């Protein structure tokens, strides 16, 4: 009994002593599409600063809700401007720290072994393009953006009969990989997930929808200093290089 107490005490002492020495750890709630790039940036950040960034990846809407209920995140990195705006209105984030950091690009993917040629979205009207996979165009952001884009190009009415609405980006990629559909719309960064699809067409940034990834420090964060420091790091050329490596467009 006494022995155990001593052991417990020792553990506490060790922890207690190591705390001031140990660098600060911040928690970043980030959109799932940022998983790979942020994991890599996190490693670089830790090796450079001894501070640690831990990530909570999920759907931007869920992350926003968690922060709204007081979940202990220090930074919110959203894939959707509306979610951050919403939190800002409720006073849940430090407005002055807001930055629109990244953008993404819509692309059309085909199975890697597809013999079909696609030089412009207009080619989707060809009869050989029987089915086109798209994340649910009424609710999922990428679906909503795609629909808007196709409408602006005057193509939506022509191909809407061919649209197979699916759950999300991953499901879009899976449909294309398997050849169940002839083509699909995803973000450029998502296309990198699969080696069994190829990017056939990139929607020019100027013509495509404005896709923005904003980031900000959470108002209730207890580690605002460390959080700001991490935000600054995201703007360094080193981080910028990594974002671009993963296919993101870095704004400004």
Chain residues in the site for another protein (CB under 8 A)? 27, 29, 32, 35-36, 39, 54-58, 62, 65-66, 69-73, 170, 173, 193-194, 220
- Least Å from the CB of residue 177 to another protein: 9
29/104 with CB nearer another protein? 29
- Least Å from the CB of residue 71 to another protein: 4
- Least Å from the CB of residue 51 to another protein: 16
- Least Å from the CB of residue 32 to another protein: 6
121/184 with CB nearer another protein? 184
- Least Å from the CB of residue 57 to another protein: 5
* SS3 letters across the chain: CHHHHHHHHHHHHHHHHHHHHCCCEEEEEEEHHHHHHHHHHHHHHHHHHCCEEEEEEECHHHHHHHHHCCCCCCEEECCCHHHHHHHHHCCCECHHHCEEEEECCEEEEEECCCCCCCCCHHHHHCCCCCCEEEECCCCCHHHHHHHHHHHHCCCHHHHHHHEEEECCHHHHHHHHHHCCCCEEEEEHHHHCCCCCEEEEEECCCCCCCCCEEEEEEECCCCCHHHHHHHHHHHCCHHHHHHHHHCCCEECC
207/245 with CB nearer another protein? 245
């Amino acid at each position: 009994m006494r022995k155990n107490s001593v052991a417990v005490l020792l553990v506490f002492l060790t922890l207690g002593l190591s705390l001031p020495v140990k660098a600060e750890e911040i928690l970043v709630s980030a959109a799932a599409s940022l998983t790979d790039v942020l994991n890599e940036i996190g490693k670089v950040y830790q090796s450079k600063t001894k501070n640690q960034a831990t990530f909570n990846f999920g759907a931007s809407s869920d992350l926003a809700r968690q922060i709204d209920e007081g979940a202990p995140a220090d930074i919110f990195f959203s894939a959707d401007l509306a979610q951050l705006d919403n939190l800002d209105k409720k006073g849940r984030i430090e407005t002055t720290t807001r930055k629109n950091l990244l953008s993404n690009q819509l692309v059309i993917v085909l199975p890697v072994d597809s013999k079909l040629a696609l030089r412009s979205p207009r080619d989707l009207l060809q009869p050989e393009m029987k089915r086109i996979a798209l994340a649910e165009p009424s609710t999922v952001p990428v679906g909503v953006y795609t629909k808007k884009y196709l409408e602006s190009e005057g193509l939506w009415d022509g191909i809407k009969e061919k649209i197979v609405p699916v759950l999300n980006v991953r499901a879009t990629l899976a449909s294309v990989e398997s050849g169940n559909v002839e083509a699909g719309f995803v973000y450029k960064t998502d296309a990198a997930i699969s080696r069994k699809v190829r990017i056939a067409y990139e929607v020019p940034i100027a013509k495509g929808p404005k896709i923005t990834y904003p980031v900000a420090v959470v108002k209730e964060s207890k580690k605002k200093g460390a959080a700001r420091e991490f935000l600054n790091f995201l703007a360094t050329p080193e981080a910028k290089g990594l974002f671009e490596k993963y296919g993101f467009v870095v704004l400004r």
